[in-house]
Amino acid sequence: MYPDLYKGLGLKPEDLTVYNFPLVSFEGRLVTPMGLIRLPVQIGMDVVEVDFIVVDVFSPYTAIVGRPWLHTLKAVSSTLHQKVKYSSGDQVLEIVGSQAAARQCQVAAIQHRLEVPSNGVECEELEKAVIADDPEKFFRVGANLPSQEKANLLEFLRANVDVFAWDPYEAPGVDPNFICHRLNVNPSVVPKRQPPRRPSKEHAEAVRSEVAKLKQAGAIEEIFYPQ
């Protein structure tokens, strides 16, 4: 719930209970809520008690109700159709939203995010540190690190340089028990042999080179099928 609605309902700050878990605003910032309050929400003839977290930030909405409200009503929502259906007694009721209003809210949220100035955070300056004799094998470390801390870091990296993969083909194979790719085919259907595709000489050489690297790394293995 946002301040406009909270004040419009005549509620006071002392009506809130403490709620300290941070939330993420539409600008992507962490926000500490003002507090929490439980209010009755009437939908048709049904009244549901809903816990609202009150936050003092920009929002194109007045309040947002989520899964607890839907679960209490045993409702089914469709964001595509802007509708909520739920059972009440012996009938199914429907809450119909507005596609135009939803679009306006989304546009307002995007425009506000674009208008919010950045906080001016800059990335740390990095410098290249060659660990092994090969200049292609290097790390990037913070240029502004204290000299002793930088020396300790580089010493640690040199002592453990063997655990880093400098090439994709140096990475160890993945255990098939963890993940394994299989073709989703029907085993009862006889495979149909496709006509050969003849790539250019340059492409064929590149393919052979990559296949050889993958076989050497153990990423693939050659299998012969009967004709």
The confidence score (pLDDT) of residue 88 equals 82
pLDDT digit string (tens) for 10-28?
888 888 888 878 887 766 7
The confidence score (pLDDT) of residue 121 equals 47
The confidence score (pLDDT) of residue 123 equals 59
The confidence score (pLDDT) of residue 226 equals 63
pLDDT digit string (tens) for 178-213?
777 777 888 888 878 888 888 888 888 988 888 888
Model-wide pTM > 0.75:
no
Q: What is 29-95 written as a DSSP string?
A: -EE---EEEEEEEEETTEEEEEEEEE--S--SSS----HHHHHHHT-EEETTTTEEEEEETTEEEEE
The confidence score (pLDDT) of residue 122 equals 54
The confidence score (pLDDT) of residue 98 equals 80
The confidence score (pLDDT) of residue 41 equals 85
Question: Which residues are 37's β-sheet partners?
Answer: 52
Low-confidence ranges of the chain (pLDDT < 50): 120-121
The confidence score (pLDDT) of residue 134 equals 77
The confidence score (pLDDT) of residue 172 equals 61
- What Rg, from alpha-carbon coordinates, does the chain have? 30
